[in-house]
Amino acid sequence: MIKTVSINFRPDDESCLPLLRQLIDFLNVEGVTILLPQYDIIRNDECYALAVPHDQFVNSPELIIVIGGDGTVLRTSRLFCGTGTPIFGINRGRLGFLTEFNPDEYPHHLKRVLEGNFNSMERLVLEAILIRDGGEVMSLCFLNDAVIHKGSISRPIRLEMKIDGNFLSTYTGDGLIISTPTGSTAYSLSAGGPIITPTEAKIFLLNPICPHSLAMRPMIVPASSDFSVRIISDFSNLLLTIDGQEVITIGGNDEVCIRQSNRNIRLITHPEKNYYSILREKLGWG
């Protein structure tokens, strides 16, 4: 029986508060201890009495409930990455590939989850390490994708790619998407990449953005590989974007290394849906 739950939501999404209050009432009836983040949007609400310090919010729960869309799940996943705590997503977004439960149905399913009756899927997490002047500057985990792109520069950039230390290719284009199977239905899909079923898929996808060569195509790589991409162009204001939310300025001769993280994420799956039914629903397939 799950007794402690953290609830996360978008820090600026005041429209989620009615659902948050409803969820709190439901959990109170179930006798669950509720932990909320110390966000300003609830500071003047009575539910702020449930807000706790960051470390307690992240390290104490047996279950994480997310109210929002896929972006909120991505933010939450990076926050709780490596804790092993399962995530239950209530969808208030547009697509909701990662938030499988709708607001009108969650009480029935959540009650079963609190009783320990649920299935979860472990999703691959990758790590992006920024190398500058031979030293590691930072390391960031991502569930969807890491994107190297030219930002506001109108000219294409030149990139050099290596896999396990072996030279792969040098190409010119608008950038590169490094996508997990989970992220294959995000930016990579819009850029012409394939959809990868995330179930136990220990692979990732390299998808060049508008390459200036017809020979450059998306490539699937084993997650056990060490991949690196170096900026050859002498530009100083390129961007590395993590899960579409964290943006780091990079420049010429910087190198981004990608490797599999050992801090995976567990998402609770809908007992009445599967990945393919979700694809049909979200992508409007017949």
Q: Which residues are catalytic?
A: 70
Q: Which residues touch 47 (CB under 8 Å, ≥6 apart)?
A: 20, 21, 24, 36
Q: Token pair for residue 188?
A: 């990579």
- Minimal CA–CA distance to 70: which of 143, 176, 121? 143
Element (DSSP H or E) covering residue 106: helix 106-114
Tell me the residue ranges of DSSP E strands in 210-280.
219-222, 227-231, 238-242, 246-250, 255-260, 265-268
Element (DSSP H or E) covering residue 275: helix 275-283
State the Cα–Cα distance between residues 23 and 264, nearest whole angstrom. Answer: 27
Q: Kindly report the CA angle at 284 between 198 and 87, in degrees rounded to 5?
A: 40
State the Cα–Cα distance between residues 278 and 100, nearest whole angstrom. Answer: 8
Amino acid at 157: I
- Minimal CA–CA distance to 283: which of 190, 203, 173, 156? 190
